[in-house]
Amino acid sequence: MTPELKGFLLAATVKVVLVFSVWMVGVMLATWLERRGSAFMQDRLGPNRVGPAGLLQPVADGLKNFLKEETWPKWVDQPLFLLAPLISFIPSLMTFAVIPFAAPLPGFDFTLPMVGRFTYQGPIPMVVADLPIGFLFILAISSLAVYGVVLAGWSSASKYAMLGGIRSSAQMISYEIALGLSVITVFILSGNVTLSEVVAAQQRTVWFVLALTVAFVLFLISAFAETNRLPFDLPEAETELVSGYHTEYSAIKFSMFYIAEYAAIITMSALITTLFFGGWDIPFTQWDEESPSVARFAATLLAFGAKTGFFLLFYVWIRWTLPRFRFDQLMELGWKVMLPVALGYITVIAFVVWGAERVGVAEAPALIGVNVGAVAGLLWGLDRGRLLAGARRRERLAA
């Protein structure tokens, strides 16, 4: 093996192992954050016994689920019943592979006894796989998550689980469209679907949340629907479906669904951060974009973690604020509001980019100007019940 190949393999292995372990710890922290955050929003304290401030509670929960008896309800389709939790778990893991999480590290060149010389030319990008197709990969893989839920619903041989599975397939397919379309505007501005290029484009100009607020709002709503979180948790819907697709699951298989849910939330938060909040970029400074160093890596990793953490909290915050949608309202929002708004917004942004070039105006001020208008329009539409019609308005229209 050449030193370059060895260096590449070393860097890749270390990245995979580190990202996986940090990310699994992140899942643990997310469950802790969810439980403690929920408790605080309800004037409770939440789990605070196991470890400092209850931080080891997820470990205890995991251990408990690991040691519990596995139940196999009588009529389940056994292979699919086992496969479903795995299928729902893996996509969110794979999706994270293309998200850049920190500034690049400097390359290395060293020699070890027995194994020889390792070199890595140039900066090491801090992303597990810097795929040129970037976001397309995410769209392709994250769509697979729906199979886990649908198969779980089907193989459980339980009517509630089945209903949950069906709801989830309808919901995820509907919102995936809005999710994909809302991001197209991001790629119009960045000119590239690779996520590290999206981050670079935001460092050059502004964070896309300032230029593309409407796309951000659409993406945020779709992200909630994609991860089956309140107010879009219809596949689970404890009050109606007991707990939907994972009603019949117990022990470690249930734990897998639980991990998968929080894994998906972390991945979505990281994705929101990357697409709209500059990824690992530290705002108001150029320091983090200079030549790679360990200090820059650490600082940008912290910045990325802080932004992602904020969205994790935001998930919890929304969960305890908004009640669950009714299913027809969910579909109506997805198809009659999100889809047209996303399509219209693509058109507007495309015209602005094209027009700014023709007229010779700088792109950024034009975009921000349009953005102010678009946000005002969106707020106007939402606030007066124009885009989203309440029951009364529908009744009046029908009369």
Q: Which residues bind other proteins (CB under 8 A)?
A: 37, 39-45, 317-318, 320-322, 326, 328, 379, 382-385, 388, 390-395
Q: Are 181 and 201 contacting, i.e. CB atoms less than 8 angstroms apart?
A: no
- How far apart are CB 282 and other proteins at their closest, in Å? 26
- How far apart are CB 159 and other proteins at their closest, in Å? 19
Which helix (H) or strand (E) element contains residue 124? strand 124-126
DSSP string, 236-278: T-HHHHTTGGGTT--HHHHHHHHHHHHHHHHHHHHHHHHHHS-
- How far apart are CB 39 and other proteins at their closest, in Å? 8
- How far apart are CB 384 and other proteins at their closest, in Å? 6
Amino acid (one-letter) located at 33: L
- How far apart are CB 48 and other proteins at their closest, in Å? 8
Is the CB of 109 or the CB of 395 nearer to other proteins?
Answer: 395
Is the CB of 41 or the CB of 252 nearer to other proteins?
Answer: 41
Is the CB of 41 or the CB of 177 nearer to other proteins?
Answer: 41
- CA–CA dist 253, 82 (Å, integer): 7
- How far apart are CB 145 and other proteins at their closest, in Å? 27
Query: Could you tell me the sign of the dihedral formed by the alpha carbons of 268, 271, 275, 279, in that order?
Result: positive
**Residues, the chain, total?**
399
Burial class (CB in 10 A: 0-12, 13-18, 19+), 296: buried
Is the CB of 37 or the CB of 91 nearer to other proteins?
Answer: 37
- How far apart are CB 379 and other proteins at their closest, in Å? 6
> According to DSSP H, which parts of the chain are helical?
3-41, 57-67, 78-96, 134-142, 145-155, 159-190, 195-204, 208-211, 213-226, 238-241, 251-276, 294-319, 327-332, 339-359, 363-383, 391-398
Is the CB of 151 or the CB of 333 nearer to other proteins?
Answer: 333
